[in-house]
């Protein structure tokens, strides 16, 4: 049995949670491999809405072990809140496992995130201010604190050193400084509660592979937010692409099976940076309202626009996508006319090559094809053949251009509103 992977194809918020929720119903293990509580997966089950930022959403299935892999950065306070959200709703967290190698987010990381954003002036990245970037910085700087050391209270010396260094920076910029004793007292209490969940997840997952268990790797963020392959610097600080699965879980490449790329029938983006098919006009506003495009993590209104197949083809290449999952087909079908970007015009020539170089991408103009909308209510449809002709034409064209089969079609917000092809 191989580990299947669900990834975001664009700038995040593609509705990965919906596909993950479906696939994890039969998964023995659901694994997060990158990012932290900058992610937001919302799932609706029996009319109840859950928003997870950190805990793999597979936890909602009683038989699934939910793993926070070593590539994730963990804010203990947020994690404790999510455990509470589960318990308050009649679920429990006994199936949660956290990698001993995952790094811990401390309040100085959150403040450093704010400080750095402040210094960027009008070149802001638009981070989620959750301390994600600074925590990964410390990891690579080798002054980070890992979950194993945290819950076993082997982190005091490192924490004191970190606070000393960072307080000097905070003082320089007139920010609040932190008291090491107070932080130790507060965080030791969190460590005590979280200790029961922390294990060697590499060993755990390999045992699962040996026993032929089904593993699902849940992506957070997305391809164009990747630290290497995204539109740097408007990216997150980890690898949400397929490579992140190997480094963020310890699952080797030969154990990876299907790689599903999730996208919406339109596109959206949070934060700054280039976005070729953005509709900064009434159409964008209409899409935002129809699709309720507001951040799960920050509640920010998302920038909205048409689907970009040049960018999608890039995601196909980088991740070796084996299938597509396309959400919000119902939403786009509420418009009269739909546009689909099937290429770029650059220096007078047509190209299918995506560039993450901001100056290069600024020279590109989208080439659109127009489709008829008005799909009507498709939420009950269970077979692709039963979709209205207009919807079929749109979906067929997407497959034709990027040459990857559509495996899932999202037809509404509810858990069951999906066509499995």
- Between 133 and 148, CB nearer to ligand IMO: 133
Closer CB to Mg ion, residue 40 or residue 261? 40
Distance CA 368, CA 341 (A): 4
Say if residues 7 and 262 touch (Cβ distance below 8 Å): yes
Which residue among 30, 98, 227, 270 contacts ligand IMO (CB under 6 A)? 270
Q: How many CB atoms are located within 10 Å of the residue 292 CB?
A: 11
Q: Which is nearer to ligand IMO, 109 or 339 (CB)?
A: 109
**Catalytic annotation on 103?**
no
Q: State yes or no: residue 127 binds ligand IMO (CB under 6 A).
A: yes
Tell me, by CB under 5 A, how many residues bind Mg ion. Answer: 3
User: Roughly what angle, to the nearest 10 degrees, separates helices 309-319 and 389-402?
Assistant: 50
Task: State the number of CA atoms in the 13 A half-sphere of 245 facing the CB.
Answer: 32
Please give the full DSSP string across 223-269, using - where no structure is assigned: GGG-TTTSSTTSS-SS--SHHHHHHHH---GGGEEEEEEEEESSEEE
CA-nearest of 50, 391, 6, 367 to 216 is 6
Please give the helix or strand (H or E) that residue 194 lies within, else none.
Answer: helix 180-194
Cα–Cα distance between 342 and 397 in angstroms, integer? 9
Choose the stretch contacting ligand IMO; rule: CB under 6 A; options: 73-81, 85-93, 232-240, 337-345: 232-240
Of 32, 101, 109, 130, which one interacts with ligand IMO (CB under 6 A)? Answer: 130
Q: Does 7 bind ligand IMO (CB under 6 A)?
A: no
Binders of Mg ion in range 191-220 (CB under 5 A): none
Question: Which stretches within 256-415 are classed as H helix?
Answer: 282-290, 309-319, 329-332, 358-362, 389-402
Q: Which is nearer to Mg ion, 13 or 149 (CB)?
A: 13
Cβ neighbours around 355 below 10 Å, total: 18
Catalytic residue among 4, 21, 28, 41: 41
Residue 105 sits in the site that holds ligand IMO (CB under 6 A) = no
Name the residue with the smallest CB distance to Mg ion. Answer: 40
- The reply on whether position 148 binds ligand IMO by CB under 6 A is no
Count of Cβ atoms closer than 10 Å to residue 167 Cβ: 17
Taking the complex as a whole, the smallest distance from the CB of residue 387 to ligand IMO amounts, in Å, to 26
What are the phi and psi torsion angles at 326 (to 5°)? -110, 115
Q: Taking the complex as a whole, how short is the minimal distance between the CB of residue 16 and ligand IMO, in angstroms?
A: 6
Q: How many other CB atoms are found less than 10 A from the CB of residue 233?
A: 12
Describe the chain by its helix, strand, coil percentages, rounded to 5: 40, 25, 40
The alpha carbon dihedral of 222, 224, 228, 233 has a sign of negative
**How far apart are alpha carbons 258 and 341 in whole angstroms?**
26
Tell me the closest approach of the beta carbon of residue 40 to Mg ion, in angstroms: 4
CB of 179 to ligand IMO, least distance (A): 26
Q: Which is nearer to Mg ion, 248 or 343 (CB)?
A: 248
Site residues for Mg ion, 19-78, by CB under 5 A, read 40
**Of residues 4, 13, 149, 226, which has the active-site annotation?**
13
Residue 218 makes contact with ligand IMO by CB under 6 A: no
The span of 126-134, 252-260, 316-324, 353-361 binding ligand IMO (CB under 6 A) equals: 126-134
- Taking CB under 6 A as the binding criterion, the range among 8-16, 159-167, 186-194, 383-391 that sits at the site for ligand IMO is 8-16
> Is 13 near Mg ion (CB under 5 A)?
yes
Answer for which of 271, 274, 284, 410 binds ligand IMO (CB under 6 A) is 271
Is 336 one of the catalytic residues? Answer: no
By a kind-dependent CB cut-off of 5 to 8 A, residue 128 interacts, out of Mg ion, ligand IMO, none, with ligand IMO
Backbone angles phi, psi at 414, to 5 degrees: -65, 160
Cβ atoms of residues 72 and 54 within 8 Å = yes
Report if residue 126 touches ligand IMO, rule: CB under 6 A. yes
Q: Is 13 in the site for ligand IMO (CB under 6 A)?
A: yes
Q: Is 134 in the site for ligand IMO (CB under 6 A)?
A: no
Q: Is 40 in the site for ligand IMO (CB under 6 A)?
A: yes
Distance of CA 293 to the CA centre of its chain: 15
Query: What does the binding site for ligand IMO look like in residue numbers (CB under 6 A)?
Result: 8, 11-13, 38-40, 125-128, 130, 132-133, 220-222, 225, 234, 236-237, 270-271, 296
The residues annotated with a catalytic role in the active site are 13, 41
């Amino acid at each position: 049995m191989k580990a299947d992977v669900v990834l975001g194809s664009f700038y995040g918020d593609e509705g990965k949670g919906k596909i993950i929720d479906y696939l994890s119903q039969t998964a023995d293990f659901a694994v997060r491999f990158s990012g932290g509580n900058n992610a937001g997966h919302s799932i609706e089950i029996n009319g109840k809405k859950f928003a997870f930022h950190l805990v793999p959403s597979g936890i909602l299935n009683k038989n699934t072990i939910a793993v926070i892999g070593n590539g994730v950065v963990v804010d203990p306070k947020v994690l404790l809140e999510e455990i509470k959200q589960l318990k308050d709703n009649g679920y429990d967290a006994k199936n949660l496992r956290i990698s001993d190698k995952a790094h811990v987010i401390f309040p100085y990381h959150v403040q450093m995130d704010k400080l750095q954003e402040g210094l960027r002036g009008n070149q802001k990245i638009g981070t989620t201010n959750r301390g994600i970037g600074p925590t990964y910085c410390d990891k690579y700087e080798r002054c980070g604190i890992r979950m194993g050391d945290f819950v076993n209270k082997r982190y005091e010396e490192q924490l004191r050193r970190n606070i000393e260094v960072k307080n000097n920076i905070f003082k320089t910029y007139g920010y609040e400084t932190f008291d090491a004793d107070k932080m130790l007292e507060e965080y030791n209490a969190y460590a005590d509660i979280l200790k029961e969940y922390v294990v060697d997840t590499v060993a755990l997952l390999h045992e699962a592979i040996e026993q032929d268990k089904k593993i699902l790797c849940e992506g957070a963020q997305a391809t164009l937010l990747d630290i290497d392959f995204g539109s740097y610097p408007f990216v997150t600080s980890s690898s949400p692409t397929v490579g992140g699965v190997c480094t963020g879980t310890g699952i080797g490449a030969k154990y990876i099976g299907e790689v599903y790329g999730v996208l919406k029938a339109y596109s959206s983006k949070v934060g700054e940076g280039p976005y070729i098919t953005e509709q900064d006009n009434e159409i964008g506003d209409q899409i935002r309202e129809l699709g309720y495009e507001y951040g799960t993590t920050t509640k920010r209104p998302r920038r909205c626009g048409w689907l970009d197949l040049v960018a999608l083809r890039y995601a196909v290449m980088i991740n070796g996508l084996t299938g597509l999952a396309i959400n919000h087909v119902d939403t786009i079908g509420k418009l009269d006319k739909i546009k689909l970007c099937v290429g770029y015009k650059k220096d007078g020539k047509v190209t299918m090559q995506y560039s993450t170089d901001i100056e290069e991408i600024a020279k590109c103009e989208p080439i659109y094809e127009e489709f008829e909308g008005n799909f009507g209510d498709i939420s009950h449809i269970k077979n692709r053949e039963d979709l209205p002709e207009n919807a079929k034409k749109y979906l067929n064209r997407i497959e034709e251009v990027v040459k990857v089969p559509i495996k899932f079609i999202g037809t509404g917000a509810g858990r069951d509103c999906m066509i499995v092809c």
